[in-house]
Structure 1
Amino acid sequence: MRVDKYLWCVRYFKTRNIATKACRKGHVRIKDEIVKPSREVYPTDELEVRKNQINYKIEVLDLPKSRVGAKLVNIYCLDKTPKEAFEKLELLKDSQKYYREKGTGRPTKKDRRELDEWLDPIKKQEKDTENDR
């Protein structure tokens, strides 16, 4: 079975076209080799798929005849992705939130000054010493 079709069948990609594009961009590897979408997949192959900033590690257990339901995916593949990858993604999401909450618009001048002071406390100390003079 083709690697793009396999990834679509086991629901790692919503459409086969997206799976094909991921292969062409080099987001899919077998044994640390970038593969083309037409590369054949066999049981016991280990795939590495980069999706949503996570490197998923998948072991092929069996080949499905067609796209399978979500409950049956575990029969055809084994997910060996380390937990640290998901924790890293959560940290990345949290680090993006500290700057500005979504939907609050552009920062005002006051917000901008507070952010600058928070990010660079040395400047704040210099301003405080200037104001005391």
Structure 2
Amino acid sequence: MRLDKFLKVSRVIKRRTLAKEVCDGGQVLVNNRVAKAGLEVKPGDKVELNFGARKLVFEILEIKETVPAKEAASLYKVIEH
């Protein structure tokens, strides 16, 4: 699954267009490498998001095309907030 789509499906970022902008702006690292929106992610990948002064690091546990809002957080495990 594309990184921008995963960020939207998992509800880490609410809109896919915003997820794409954040990725293309160099604010997302996957496995310690700068990642573009089209990067294919898989379970086990470590994702680091930088929102200005805030930083979120999480590991992808599962990939699903759609998921109810209540279950969205089950797709990843937060490592650092």
TM over 0.5: yes
Say which structure, 1 or 2, has more relative contact order (CA 8 Å, 6+ apart).
2
Number of positions where the alignment pairs a residue of Structure 1 with one of Structure 2: 81
RMSD: 1.3
8 Å contact from structure 1 (residues 10, 68) kept in 2: no
Q: Stretches of 4+ moved more than 6 A in 1?
A: none
- TM-score, normalised by the number of residues in structure 2: 0.90
CA distance in 2, matches of 1:59, 1:68: 19
Partner of 2:20: 20
> Which amino acid is 2:29 matched to?
R
Structure 1 residues 1-133: aligned runs within 5 Å: 1-69=1-69, 71-82=70-81
Which is greater in Rg?
1
Q: What does the per-residue CA deviation read over 1:88-123, in whole Å, with 9 as the maximum and x for residues that have no partner?
A: xxxxxxxxxxxxxxxxxxxxxxxxxxxxxxxxxxxx
Structure 1 residue 53: Cα displacement: 2.1
SS of the residue aligned with 1:42? coil
Aligned amino acid, residue 80 of structure 1: I
What is the deviation of 1:32? 1.4
1:18 and 1:66 map into 2 onto residues whose CA distance is 18
Structure 2 residue matching 1:78: 3-state secondary structure: strand
Q: How many Å apart are 1:13 and its aligned residue?
A: 1.0
C-alpha distance in 2 between matches for 1:40 and 1:49: 16
Structure 1 segments unaligned to the other structure (5+ residues)? 83-133
8 Å contact kept, 1:11–1:67: no
* Structure 2: unaligned runs, 5 residues or longer: none
Please, what TM-score do these two structures have when normalized by structure 1?
0.57
Instruction: Give distance in 1, aligned partners of 2:18 and 2:6.
Output: 12
Give the structure with the larger strand fraction: 2
